[in-house]
Structure 1
Amino acid sequence: IKMNPHKEEGKVRVRFVTNDPSIRVTETPFAVTLKLGRLGLSEVVNHLREETDASLHKPFDFLINGKFIRTTLDKHLKKAGLSEEPVITIEYVEAVTPPKREQENQHDDWISSVDARSSLGLALTGCYDFGARIVDGSATTLLTAVGHTAAVKAVAWTQSSKKNALQFLTASLDKTVRLWAADVDAKTTCPMAVFKAHTASVESISANPDGTRFASGGYDNKLMLWDLQNLPQPAAAVQSKKKRKNASILESHSQAVTTVTWPTQFQLLSGSMDKSIRLWDLETMANSDTMMAPSALHDLSYSIEAGLIASAHADHAVRLWDPRITDGKYNIQTLLSHKNWVTSIRWKPNSATQLLSSSHDGTVKLWDIRSKIALFSLDKHTDKVLCTDWLRNVDSTNSNDEWKIVSGGADTKLKIYSSGESE
């Protein structure tokens, strides 16, 4: 039997590295027992940090070649084919703590959608009671906008940097999209325009980053682009089918367009019940790339930091796609944990690794894509969860606690959680 001369029996030489200078320890290799798991490795790092007060010990997560250690070192190294390596480099990050529920807001009907990506720490919600609400981080309803004649299916901010000059969009089962102005300080909402061109329920809307245009997708299989500048006067003027100067139609999906996202000025993505994710060239208005999934799409989210698309599917899966791949095998990872249709997906702002998903199984899951297992499952909802997002915690002075998690669904409750300390 050949023995590795650099390895003692039952031990392996490791080097600990981190990108966080506040928790950095010596990078000199030394031997640790192969039986150690995440908790044992955390104790080693805390010892190396010379933290003698056990109450101040931090929990860490550990990665080898970008993959979390979720078993013992021995099992992980054997599975990765690294058992004979003389020195193993282990990266460590501060572990995410479990999210805790803080507040909830009672709506009058199912909560279909939430856009919490406001710099002011405000969440915009859409509800089956025909209305939209602006809710703050303490779960207090600040404003309500009612004008649709059927359930609101999607909402999106267009301007959200000043409390007295907010603008947002609502899309509805009544086949229309409405533009609203709101002033939280004066407690007023004002309808600005109604966009009529879809011939079936409008399921998804997304504004471009500067709020000058938006995209809408619906059950009429149409993806439409709209101009928010030079709107006709007076306010609440209708964009009719015959006079559609403010709209362009992108037709290529063969079934309902269930999700659109416009993450950068030059990138528009759409997803459909036809199982396709389509990327659009906004200069030529052409479908520049198509990625086919095994199951119908319900939501898409794009991470600028990772360059990856995350998708939510009817077959209970969350999928990750790399549009930069040229051999056509775009689907690089599938995350399986939900027990029912995945309804929404959201990358954490400024993160290349963390995302949220919600499902008809009543849960919201927090993922780190470096692990196949969800970090946490939030199962406080008593019915289908239809939407989730990251809500900026404007009261926090700790950059690690900058984001909260917000979710809503068929139990009519908007729930807000602290997201715990992050990477």
Structure 2
Amino acid sequence: MAMDGGAAAELREAHLLTGHTDRVWSLAWNPSPGAGAGPVLASCGGDKAVRIWKRAADGSWQCSDVLEDTHNRTVRSCAWSPDGKLLATASFDSTTAIWEYSSGEFECVATLEGHENEVKSVSWSASGSLLATCSRDKSVWIWEMQPGNEYECVSVQQGHTQDVKMVQWHPILDVLVSVSYDNSIRIWADDGDDEWHCVQTLTEANNCGHSSTVWALSFNQKGDRMVTCSDDHTLKIWDTSADLSQPKTSDNQESWRHLCTLTGYHGRTIFSAHWSSEDIIASGAGDDAICLFAEDKSSMVEGPSYRLILKKEKAHDMDINCVRWCPQDPRMLASASDDGTVKLWELRGNALD
């Protein structure tokens, strides 16, 4: 995708999705909605419900399903399995529910229990065989899918010293990243004998890491870079020099290094960041704004750098908790807010042609 620094980009609000009666915490696009089906979006929030949104034949968006009466507290996170057939939802009620779409409706087919309190995030591995959850109880749990919609906890990791805000699997490998209120980013990997370990910790002291709570992370499509965002009002880009096709060894375990820091663009906590398939990073923050960034190929600065494409002020009326690019349409961005709404945006402009 050619980027022309002189061409303007525009983020245009295309659809406003209403129905949640409390703040909307998280969004997840179905990566594989099925042949002939349009994009499918899941949203969840403080109203204890999950809503499924689909695009109608006339181009409008409608809520096709409401998943409720399973969680009895806020639903904080939702994530689709890679094949698009299962939806996991994580709740402040200490449980994670697994939903299956069958015969035209969603059914809760499993409930994962074990965390002591609020589950903050859930993520499926690229293979679809592993699920990760994290909690205010400071732990990261790794679950393995078994036949018959059974899930076995195969590892509980206690490396973080504070509330764990998000877990995210690498897009290709069974490598897991977690971020926390303790300001750190931790990389988890299997040693080959089904034993999980923290193989790297990225902190302010030793890796140019964040100075406050790390809220979220996202990988680029290749998996050789990731972005993290924080209460310190910055986004940080990380790069790995390891050969990701090779097993982790003592020589390449600590492979992530700080590449650059994006600062001065948001005035409050950055709650979400997401990397599109076209290598555009979106961020959403407590200043109610959305920012878009791309690598600056023309920069004379030594090493890779990223530039602001645009900033959408007052994208919502309150804090923006989540931003997610659509996998079927990389120019469509969804955002979720404390104002109780979900918005769909179209990215336009010569800068992206």
Could you say whether these structures have the same fold, taking a TM-score greater than 0.5 normalized by the shorter chain as the test?
yes
Name the structure 2 match of 1:113.
Answer: 77
Q: SS where residue 109 of structure 1 aligns?
A: coil
Given that 2:160 and 2:182 are in contact with CA atoms closer than 8 Å, whether structure 1 keeps it comes out as yes
Name the structure 2 match of 1:299.
Answer: 272
Name the structure 2 match of 1:254.
Answer: 211
The offset of 1:217, in angstroms, is 0.4
Letter paired with 1:178: W
Say which structure is richer in helix: 1
Q: Which has the larger radius of gyration?
A: 1
Name the structure 1 match of 2:123.
Answer: 156
Given that 1:212 and 1:229 are in contact with CA atoms closer than 8 Å, whether structure 2 keeps it comes out as no
* Whole-angstrom distance in 2 between the partners of 1:190 and 1:173: 21
Is the alpha carbon distance of 1:329 and 1:147 closer, same or farther for their aligned partners in structure 2, counting shifts above 3 Å? closer
Q: Does 1:135 align with 2:99?
A: yes
Name the structure 1 match of 2:138.
Answer: 175
Given that 2:78 and 2:87 are in contact with CA atoms closer than 8 Å, whether structure 1 keeps it comes out as yes
Is the alpha carbon distance of 1:65 and 1:302 closer, same or farther for their aligned partners in structure 2, counting shifts above 3 Å? closer
* Whole-angstrom distance in 1 between the partners of 2:218 and 2:11: 30
Name the structure 2 match of 1:214.
Answer: 176
Q: Does 1:103 align with 2:65?
A: yes
Q: 1:370 aligns with which of 343, 348, 353?
A: 348
The offset of 1:329, in angstroms, is 7.0
Given that 2:120 and 2:134 are in contact with CA atoms closer than 8 Å, whether structure 1 keeps it comes out as yes
Q: Which sections of structure 2, spanning at least 5 residues, go unmatched? A: 1-6, 14-56, 204-208, 242-254
Q: Does 1:123 align with 2:87?
A: yes
* Whole-angstrom distance in 2 between the partners of 1:113 and 1:278: 23
Name the structure 2 match of 1:275.
Answer: 233
Is the alpha carbon distance of 1:255 and 1:153 closer, same or farther for their aligned partners in structure 2, counting shifts above 3 Å? same
* Cα RMSD, aligned residues only: 2.6
Q: SS where residue 189 of structure 1 aligns?
A: strand
Q: 1:200 aligns with which of 137, 151, 162?
A: 162
Aligned residues: 268
Given that 2:318 and 2:337 are in contact with CA atoms closer than 8 Å, whether structure 1 keeps it comes out as yes
The offset of 1:268, in angstroms, is 1.6
* Whole-angstrom distance in 1 between the partners of 2:270 and 2:12: 31
The offset of 1:205, in angstroms, is 1.2
Deviates more, 1:354-363 or 1:210-219: 210-219
Letter paired with 1:342: I
Q: Give a deviation string over 1:85-144, Cα, whole Å, max 9, x none.
A: xxxxxxxxxx97121111111122100011125213321111001111111343321211
The offset of 1:337, in angstroms, is 2.9
Q: SS where residue 130 of structure 2 aligns?
A: strand
Task: Determine what percentage of the aligned residue pairs are the same residue.
Answer: 24
* Whole-angstrom distance in 1 between the partners of 2:233 and 2:9: 30
Is the alpha carbon distance of 1:142 and 1:289 closer, same or farther for their aligned partners in structure 2, counting shifts above 3 Å? same
Letter paired with 2:224: F
* Whole-angstrom distance in 2 between the partners of 1:113 and 1:316: 20
**What is the TM-score of this pair, normalised by structure 1?**
0.59
Given that 1:213 and 1:229 are in contact with CA atoms closer than 8 Å, whether structure 2 keeps it comes out as no
**What is the TM-score of this pair, normalised by structure 2?**
0.70
* Whole-angstrom distance in 2 between the partners of 1:182 and 1:357: 30
Output aligned runs, 1:315-334, within 5 Å.
315-324=287-296, 326=299, 330-334=307-311
Structure with the bigger RCO (C-alpha within 8 Å, sep 6+) is 2
Given that 1:119 and 1:160 are in contact with CA atoms closer than 8 Å, whether structure 2 keeps it comes out as no
